């Protein structure tokens, strides 16, 4: 690659690949949420959002064919089609830069150059990992919220902490397989307090006051009045097709969202992470996906891991195993069908009611829980060397750009990175109980969030 416009002290680092190595080292230095994403290229000239179509399966046939009907060209069989469903992947551009002054930094210029590359790599890795995490939780926390303001009298509309997961519903008839905005035509059953109401509309607040990480406060409107008893602050508000969310001590054990009556407010200091809770999550995930031989990734912070080590079931399992790597290193790699991955990027928040408590959210993920779309135009850009003044490299689908000095004094080298793409948690709404008898009605089935303190 042409490096003639770069300062002499930097040319060797570029030519020998040191720069790419340092950037790559930072980018892949830790396992994170991005690792579970299935990567798909997003073609050029398709717009800022891409509609993806996922093909479903057909229901098993358990009724024998009638011998008398085995005639004509169709042999008595009526053709049926597989189900489809669609989800939208949005793409955006992210990036940052570091400037290197080749005059003021000349005492250790080459080392500083490589250090900048590594710093950019670490930043890019953390940025994409956090974007992936936010997309994952945006899907799997959606449809589970609580009433924010107590009604003064029965009313059609209530204020909730987070409207994500309530805004769209799986269409029928001409909109079959597509997600459409909830309306009077496309409604959804929602549990508020102890009763089920028919949702007909949603709206986000102009000023977001949600306390849920990444949440959007807003209003839900129903076809009939919500009672004051149900529309009381802290009461649960749960979509019939929301993802499975598990809390300790039976405060939520998956299954139908319409049979549960507690919100995150109910979590107490005794609701800690145990092996039994994780086993419940694994059982729900296997029932919903049909995956029996997969090892699921469980992302959790170090406090959650510490609570697990104190659990009696865990202690009994490792009793006398003080020589094992699990006990000596304090890390669990694989256990009961899950691969434990400690991370400092786990999603936490202050308890909405009880001061001093922190709500923690480990998440158990099956393959396909997240899709990453990488814009193909990044690769096209990397192939172009328009003016010979920049070095452009693709590392792990992230573009690293080193621009030679173009300022008046020919002193400033710009080291930058950018990524164009997006993440989305795809749906499996059509994989219902006719396809997988143990599956629930959840739209999203490939991950389970565990809430504890």
pLDDT tens-digit readout, 6-20:
565 555 555 555 566
> Quick check: 112 pLDDT over 70?
yes
Strands 447-450, 188-192: pairing is: unpaired
Residues 6, 8, 9: CA angle, nearest 5 degrees: 110
* 204-to-145, 164, 221, 222, 286 alpha-carbon distances in Å: 14, 9, 12, 15, 34
pLDDT at 404: 85
Quick one: three-class SS letters along the chain? CCCCCCCHHHHHHHHCCHHHHHHHHHHCCCCCHHHHEEEEEECCCCCCEEEEEEECCCCCCCCCCCHHHCCCCCCCCCCCCCCEEEEEEECEEEEEEEEEECCCCHHHHHHHHHHHHHHHHHHHHHHHHHHHHHHHHHHHCCCEEEECCCCCCCEEEEEECCCCCCCEEECCHHHCCCEEECCCCCCEEEEECCEEEEEEEEEECCCCCCCCCCCCCEEEEEEEEECCCCCCCCCEEEECCCCCEEECCCCEECCCHHHCCCCHHHCCCCCCCCHHHHHHHHHHHHHHHCCCCCCEEEEECHHHHHHHHHCHHHHHHCCCCCCCHHHHHCCCCEECCEEEEECCCCEEEECCCCCCCEEEECEEECCCCEEEEEECHHHHHHHCCCCCCEEEEEECCEEEEEECCCCCCCCEEEEEEEEEEEEECCCCCCCCCCCCCCCCCCCCCCEEEECEC
> Quick check: 290 pLDDT over 70?
yes
CA dihedral 275, 277, 281, 282 (to 10 degrees): 20
Instruction: Report the C-alpha gap between 139 and 148 in whole angstroms.
Output: 21
pLDDT band at 99, cuts 50/70/90? very high
Instruction: Report the C-alpha gap between 100 and 113 in whole angstroms.
Output: 7
pLDDT band at 1, cuts 50/70/90? very low
pLDDT digits (tens, 9 = 90+) for 387-409: 567 788 888 889 888 888 888 88
pTM of the model: 0.85
Task: For residues 358-384, give the mean pLDDT.
Answer: 86
> Quick check: 107 pLDDT over 90?
no
> Quick check: 419 pLDDT over 70?
yes
pLDDT at 408: 86
> Quick check: 108 pLDDT over 60?
no
pLDDT at 392: 83
CA nearest 137: which of 363, 305, 352? Answer: 363
Residues 134, 136, 139: CA angle, nearest 5 degrees: 105
CA nearest 33: which of 440, 450, 447? Answer: 447
Give the bridge partners for 422, in sequence order. Answer: 373
Residue 260 CB partners (closer than 8 Å, separation 6+): 191, 236, 238, 252
If you average pLDDT over every residue of the chain, what do you get?
84
The radius of gyration of the chain from alpha carbons, rounded to an integer in Å, stands at 26
pLDDT at 40: 85
pLDDT band at 150, cuts 50/70/90? very high
Token code pair at residue 48: 């800022």
> Quick check: 328 pLDDT over 70?
no
């Amino acid at each position: 690659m042409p490096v003639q416009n770069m300062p002499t002290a930097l040319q060797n680092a570029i030519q020998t690949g040191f720069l790419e190595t340092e950037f790559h080292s930072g980018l892949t230095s830790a396992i994170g949420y991005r690792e579970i994403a299935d990567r798909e290229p997003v073609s050029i000239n398709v717009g800022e959002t891409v509609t993806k179509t996922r093909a479903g399966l057909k229901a098993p046939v358990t009724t024998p064919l009638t011998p008398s009907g085995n005639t004509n060209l169709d042999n008595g069989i009526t053709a049926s089609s597989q189900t489809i469903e669609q989800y939208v992947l949005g793409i955006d551009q992210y990036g940052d830069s570091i400037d290197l002054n080749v005059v003021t930094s000349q005492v250790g210029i080459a080392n500083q150059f490589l250090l900048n590359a590594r710093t950019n790599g670490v930043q890019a890795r953390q940025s994409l990992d956090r974007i992936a995490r936010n997309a994952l939780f945006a899907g799997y926390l959606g449809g589970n919220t609580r009433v924010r303001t107590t009604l003064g009298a029965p009313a059609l509309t209530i204020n909730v902490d987070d409207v994500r997961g309530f805004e769209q519903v799986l269409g029928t008839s001409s909109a079959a397989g597509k997600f459409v905005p909830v309306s009077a035509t496309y409604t959804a059953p929602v549990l508020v307090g102890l009763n089920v109401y028919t949702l007909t509309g949603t709206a986000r607040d102009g000023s977001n006051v949600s306390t849920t990480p990444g949440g959007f406060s807003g209003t839900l409107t129903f076809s009939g009045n919500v009672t004051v008893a149900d529309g009381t602050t802290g009461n649960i508000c749960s979509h019939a097709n929301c993802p499975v969310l598990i809390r300790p001590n039976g405060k939520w054990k998956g299954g139908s969202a319409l049979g549960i009556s507690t919100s995150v407010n109910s979590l107490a200091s005794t609701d800690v992470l145990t092996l039994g809770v994780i086993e419940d999550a694994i059982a729900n995930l296997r029932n919903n996906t049909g995956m029996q031989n997969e090892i699921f990734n469980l992302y959790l912070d170090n406090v959650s891991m510490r609570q697990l080590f104190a659990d009696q079931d865990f202690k009994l399992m490792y009793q006398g195993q003080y020589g094992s790597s699990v006990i000596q290193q304090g890390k669990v790699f694989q256990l009961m069908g899950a691969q434990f991955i400690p991370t400092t990027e786990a999603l936490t928040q202050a308890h909405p009611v009880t001061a001093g408590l922190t709500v923690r959210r480990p998440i158990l993920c099956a393959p396909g829980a997240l899709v990453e779309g990488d814009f193909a135009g990044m690769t096209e850009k990397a192939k172009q060397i328009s003016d010979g003044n920049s070095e452009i490299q693709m590392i792990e689908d992230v573009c690293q750009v080193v621009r030679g000095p173009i300022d008046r004094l020919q002193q400033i080298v710009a080291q930058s990175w950018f990524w164009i793409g997006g993440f989305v948690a795809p749906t499996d709404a059509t994989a219902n109980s006719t396809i997988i008898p143990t599956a629930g009605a959840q739209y999203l089935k490939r991950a389970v969030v565990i809430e504890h303190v």
